[in-house]
Structure 1
């Protein structure tokens, strides 16, 4: 099968509005959680989230793009533009049918749906709906609008597997290029879930931290005092390219996407399997798909959301796969970004790739006392980043419904 490499990356996140600032903040271990400004959250159990800072869509998009797209699509468009410009490929030098878009999202146009229903009720339930209501809410629309904007006429769809959506999209993009169905695919994910209904819904599930007096320390993966995740938002976009095509045009190559896999826990609608059975098999299959052994991997970006059950099941799974790898380092970067839901896998894959290119492993912040139930030999990087040569890295994502999505990257 064809080899697939990454030639472009773009980020819009609470930790930074472009790749450069994002990576600097991640390496420096900066928390990005604060009181919610999007709406008045004083009546909610959780008053805070990790919002994107200093963001005005009009600085990036024209009036019609803003009018016709939900916030999650706007995030995807902005991250995609950075990734495409970073890659530097020229569509006029290739067939538009050789370039596709495969993006993930967990909630899609959730904010638009919420706003429209609120307006419907406020107007006495008179059916005066916005003509863009349906297109703006569709989960596939970010992929569709990116293809329309740039003229990409190849494979185009969205992957939906809750918080594993980005890695599902990444796996699909990898395979379509491997099979010779495309030369370039824009992939990754986007979500904009900081809304009243979303925060309220996750509060009802008791999934969010309620550390309202200290939001900047609320996300503390693997810590004995963790009490839930911090909601985040944003987009991560990567340009996947067939290796020989990238070399022929002299593209800058960040790393190779070596393999990917998905499994299901088949256990519970919101909880991960306590023994990590699906995660264990998913990581093994991803390594096998990439022709790698457990000892080849130097870094794992853990899904670790800072929930009591999820962190432990993942720690158990990582230890089962990599327990004999004395060189492995693990960190949970949601401690800085919050949980970006369907965008999490893309943003964290970018982090995994940057560890390869820069030789820096970012920290897990806010984690002071690691839960004694976490296996002792699991090296979790806390407080400060470390310098370390990384030849291969792995990104874990797990979603409601039991979805496990794993991606593996390696140095070219």
Structure 2
């Protein structure tokens, strides 16, 4: 497919679902299904997106919102919009420029980019090609803590603004689709580029394709026995703000604050770990309520990912108490369709939908969104004659 035909394909992409449709046409079946699939019977993957269809926004009118304010600060990072690109690995699976293209698109659109430990472009190279951009670095805690700390130190030295530690992956969830497709290792020529030569010698995975599949790699280097002591150990060795990604319970959210972390990302790994995990939007209100009640006015950012497919989805999350949202798979769809141009268009659509949603719901600021009333589909059907049956910033029973 030529560049011009790519442009023609993406010119018809008007919402994020259109990019997934085009990416499915373009990508090899096993790659597309690797990206889109989840663990087990994929109950969680389906629920993550469907839950947004159960909520309605009750808009306000006559609110003078022609120029809504969309920026905020999360930790030490200034966000132009209350969303960032989630850290996820192996961008080169869908486009030869990989994380470089994603970083340049984010730079142009003024959106913070999360870079994964399992990126196919080195973390230093991302900073070099998009030096004026805003970047967070994501890592796992490995059996060899020295490797983890080296990764963290490298991210510090080249200007990453925050560290994200993923804590929901003592093992990787089983994804039957990958087994059916025989997709168990990186294609030849692709590598997890963030490991130094010294690290590769330790684990003998200079070429992952020659040393077993994904499960062998995880068993070899991941530590399934990590505890709060281990994430605290890493936090003590960095000056960066540290966010914990993979929180799904009130108890763990409160522990994250107790142990001094900078914030949390409510995440079920896009449904790729526990196949029947609760959708993140369902977790959000109870976590927000518990954290805000205990911390009162103290700043403790609560971010969320998994299942977001529109600017209005972001508004719903903010109305339920989230500070910001992390966008995952749609970025890969844009990248697969047309590299930098595709990612830029995905981000542009999200920004436009978010601003339009603010204006049409009567919000001139992010604080106004937090006051929005939402009503659940079930509650609406049950109480359609009762005008007071709504929830003010809280999720009705689903």
Tell me whether the two structures share a fold, i.e. TM-score over 0.5: no
Instruction: Point out the structure with the larger strand share.
Output: 1
| Length-normalised TM-score, structure 1 | 0.28
Structure having the higher helix fraction is: 2
